[in-house]
Structure 1
């Protein structure tokens, strides 16, 4: 029954009942998120946009010159989750994700607080049995001023259902 907007760089098949907006850059994603968030009740930042981008965009292929390396200068992209978390109204709910390779709980707790998310889903991506290269996952759900809740190892679709149910219980 929800009106869902997916903002993505990945050109996927049309998803029934979902408005899909495709973008080509972190800057475009931020603009689309800002535009959609104005009327949203819940914002789920399910994937991290690149933290950095090249300072100068080449208009054509960068050719190899001699045997020297290439130095690129990078600038930070806007932190979409942080911007949305800091601009939300009292009737909006913001969910973020943290994919970490070490110090999972310390980094996740810090991210929950500094980005002013209402819920954070922490993933230990250093494990080989869960996450990116597995059909299964185990996550920790963090809420401000509450004890973290760690799931058992489950198929990713079950993790998604569990997260959506938890959002529903918390936001209601």
Structure 2
């Protein structure tokens, strides 16, 4: 009977699990965003779109921290994982989803939040929703910028959507002349 090999140190015991942890964190956020999107989009009996927007939950501690943690696990512990560039691209897409839908749901939810202000307590609650929503979006944008820098440092490139961008001219081989040299007999 063979026994499983015991890692020589706690660090080596965890290093082997790095890809699993990084993919699990990215996958968790992807699932969270998937279910949050459809929970926000699909109507329910006692809610309106603006009330679902006010409590959508696109920008949460999980959606802000976990993709960054996955990248730190993949890139800051040596050796850098071979798939870290792909992980950075996935994390960047997740942050774009968080920021885009987070901003839209925040703006739509403001109408609902401020529509029910009728006391000092509800005014303070609306102010809290506004300030904390902006703070969450700001932190998410800062982390997204850090992930963008990680992605670019790993050799990733962004598409150029500018109107001034023209594709490079293609080099065509020189054409052969149709005239054949005459042979002298």
The TM-score normalised by the length of structure 2 is 0.30
The TM-score normalised by the length of structure 1 is 0.32
Bigger Rg, structure 1 or 2 = 2
Compare the two structures and name the one with the higher helix fraction.
2
Compare the two structures and name the one with the higher strand fraction.
1
